[in-house]
């Protein structure tokens, strides 16, 4: 069965510093992978998706993620954090005929 593990339920970075949010997945077939962002009391918004094309995927708001099959990872990065990036981030995996599975989320805090 597919699964997603997000390492670190809470990550803090300084404004202007690199953002790295980790996601590892488990899937028996080539997966589709997604990153979503959620601001307080709102729904989830798609940041980016991997669908077996380029392994480096660029998304909105300056975020990008790299699919590494050998490491079964899909980490999310942004070169320079902005205060507005403070939110909760979810990694999700879709493979086979099973529904989309979400990780438990990582809350990102940005310190001025």
Q: Binding to other proteins (CB under 8 A): which residues in 19-38?
A: 32, 34, 36
Asked if 9 interacts with other proteins (CB under 8 A), we say yes
What is the full DSSP assignment across 33-102?
Answer: EEEEEE-TTS-EEEEEEE-SS-SEEE-GGG-EEEEETTTTEEEEEESS--GGG-EEEEEEEE-TTSPPEE
Q: By C-beta, is 84 or 97 nearer to other proteins? A: 97
71 to 110: interface string for other proteins, x by CB under 8 A = -------------------x---x----xx-xxxx-----
Q: Site residues (CB under 8 A) for other proteins?
A: 9, 32, 34, 36, 41-46, 49, 51, 90, 94, 99-100, 102-105
């Amino acid at each position: 069965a597919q699964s997603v593990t997000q390492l670190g339920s809470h990550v803090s970075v300084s404004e202007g510093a690199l953002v790295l949010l980790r996601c590892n997945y488990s899937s028996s077939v080539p997966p589709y992978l997604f990153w979503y962002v959620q601001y307080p009391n709102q729904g989830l918004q798609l940041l980016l998706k991997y669908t077996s094309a380029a392994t480096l995927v660029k998304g909105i708001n300056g975020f990008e993620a790299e699919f590494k099959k050998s490491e079964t990872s899909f980490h999310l990065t942004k070169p320079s954090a902005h205060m507005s990036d403070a939110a909760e981030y979810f990694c999700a995996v879709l493979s086979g005929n099973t529904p989309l599975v979400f990780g438990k989320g990582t809350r990102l805090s940005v310190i001025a």
